[in-house]
Structures are given as structure tokens and as C-alpha cells.
Copies of this chain bind each other. A is one copy, B any other.
């Protein structure tokens, strides 16, 4: 058991108002999102239960939910693991993000009022600030919040769960991408998006979102770098 790569999960204080299962779910979700669990690493219920100091039951439920969200993968052996990434899959995930998120943005556009636009602006300012501080973790979170705030303007919106699933699958690798951030290479596409919102220009908004996603992936990591990392992470699972 010890020969398997160790898992270092950041544990947050558990609020009693929340069920254990929910807490486990959020904890494991965070661990996957932050790349704390290596792709291909087999996860066992009892191991995680011991790690999080709970009974196997909440683990089972959380694992099943994460699997349904494609954050984890159930192999034929009934074993659960973080899915391995391939360059092609990475491309597909990014293109899916663009297709769905630009659609979600256009659908949200008519519902964005002055209040929400102001909120978007203030979020954007926080992102600028985080960029000055070079706080990569923060940038990533705030960027997600920006997108979420945009799409949820549509009160009838149904795509956010799908989008979050894609984020989850890309999570570990987005993190790598941002970790390579060095220059002021990040052109702020959010301003472009907000300008489009003010003009109620759906097409321009879609272009801005598309560009934002594409650059968010490409700004630091060249295709070659990406490719190399992906292949490297696949071999890591053999450890």
C-alpha cells in the first residue's frame, strides 16, 4: 500500500452544518482540481476514509458523484482513479469549453443588468490585482468566478453543471498552465467581454469568451510544452 504514491490532501475545517459526505466531496474535488492526486493513481475507499478520518460510507458517495461528473473514472475493475490526460483529449476539452461557454455567455447576455455588470467589473479589478501580486492560485479562482457570474445571469441557465464538469477535467492542467505564467502576457479579454455586454453585442461577447479561454490555455504553455507535460504525467502514473 505504501509503495503507491502518497496523496497529500489539504484538509479544511469541517463545518457541522454541512454533511460529512458534502465535506468529503468538496475536499476530494479540490484535491483533483489542484492536481494533488496523480492521474492514474488508483484510489481505494478505505485508504481515503483513513486519510480523511471518516467512515467508508461518505467516501463511497463522494466518489460516485465525482465519477458522474467525469472528475474521476471508474475502470472495469471497479477501481476509481483520476483520468489520464492525452493531448487529443485536452484539445477536445478546450474546444468543448469554447463551444459551451460562448453559448452560455450569449444566452446570459440579455439578463445582465447594471448591478451584475458592476460585479463583473469589480471581479475583474480583483483579477488585475491578483496578477500584480502574481498570486496564481487566486487568479485561477477569480477567473472561474468571473465566468460563473457571467453565465448565471441567465436565471434559466442549464449549462453550468456541464461547464463545471469540463473545468474539473481540465483542472490539473489549467493549473500547470498558470504555473508557467511569467510575463504580462495576459491580455485582458475580460474588458473586451464587458464592452460587448454594454453594447449588447452577443457575437462580440462570444469572440471575447473564446479568446479568453484560448489564451488562458495557451498564454504560457506552447503546444510543445503542453504535449511534453501531458506525456510526462502519463508516465508518472507508473510510479
Question: What residues make up the interface of A, taking CB atoms closer than 8 Å to B?
Answer: 60-61, 64-65, 67-70, 86, 88-89, 91-93, 95-96, 99-100, 103, 107, 154-159, 161-162, 165-166, 169
Contacts and interface: CB of A to CB of B under 8 A. Distances in A.
B86 A161 contact: no
A89 B67 CA distance: 26
Given A96-B159, A100-B100, 13 more contacts: A61-B61, A65-B65, A65-B68, A68-B68, A68-B69, A89-B156, A89-B158, A92-B157, A92-B158, A92-B159, A100-B103, A162-B162, A162-B166
A206 to B, nearest CB: 11
State the number of copies, please: 2
Contact of A86 (B61, B70, B156): B156
B103 A99 contact: yes
Contacts of A96: 100, 103, 158-159, 162
B93 A158 contact: yes
A102 to B, nearest CB: 8
Contacts of A70: 158, 161
Contacts of A86: 156
A99 to B, nearest CB: 4
A92 B100 CA distance: 12
Contacts of A92: 107, 154, 156-159
5 contacts: A89-B158, A91-B156, A95-B103, A96-B103, A99-B100
B169 A158 contact: yes
A116 to B, nearest CB: 18
Contacts of A69: 68
Nearest to A94: B158
